[in-house]
Amino acid sequence: MSKPHNDALARTRESVAEEKTVRDASKLSSRLIYEVIRRDGEEELERPVRSLIWSGIAAGIMISFSVLGEAIFRTYLPDTPGSYLVENLGYSLGFLLVILGRMQLFTENTITTVLPLMVEPTRRKFAEVGRLWLVVLSANVVGAFAIATLFAHTPAIPAELMPALVSLSEHAVGMPAGESFARAVPAGILIAAIVWMLPQAENATFFVILVFTWLIAAGDFTHVVAGSVEMALLAVRGDLGFYAAVFEFFLPVLGGNVVGGTAIFAMMAWGQVRHELAHTDPQ
Domain holding 239: CATH number? 1.20.1080.10
d(CA 207, CA 238): 38
pLDDT tens for the chain, 283 residues long, are: 555 555 555 555 555 554 544 344 457 777 888 888 888 888 888 899 999 999 999 999 999 999 999 999 999 999 888 899 999 999 999 999 999 998 999 998 888 888 888 888 889 989 999 999 999 999 999 999 999 999 999 999 999 999 999 999 999 999 999 999 999 999 999 999 999 999 888 789 999 999 999 999 999 999 999 999 999 999 999 999 999 999 999 999 999 999 999 888 888 887 777 776 655 544 4
Residue 50 falls within a domain, yes or no? yes
Residue 282 falls within a domain, yes or no? no
Residue 283 falls within a domain, yes or no? no
- The boundaries of the domain holding residue 234 are 28-277
Domain count, the chain: 1
26-35, long-range: CB within 8 Å, 24+ apart, which pairs? 27/200, 28/199, 28/200, 30/269, 30/272, 30/273, 30/276, 31/273, 31/276, 31/277, 31/280, 32/199, 33/196, 33/199, 33/200, 34/115, 34/269, 34/270, 34/273, 34/277, 35/282
Residue 213 falls within a domain, yes or no? yes
d(CA 173, CA 244): 8
Residue 19 falls within a domain, yes or no? no
Among 248, 257, 251, residue whose Cα is nearest residue 222: 257
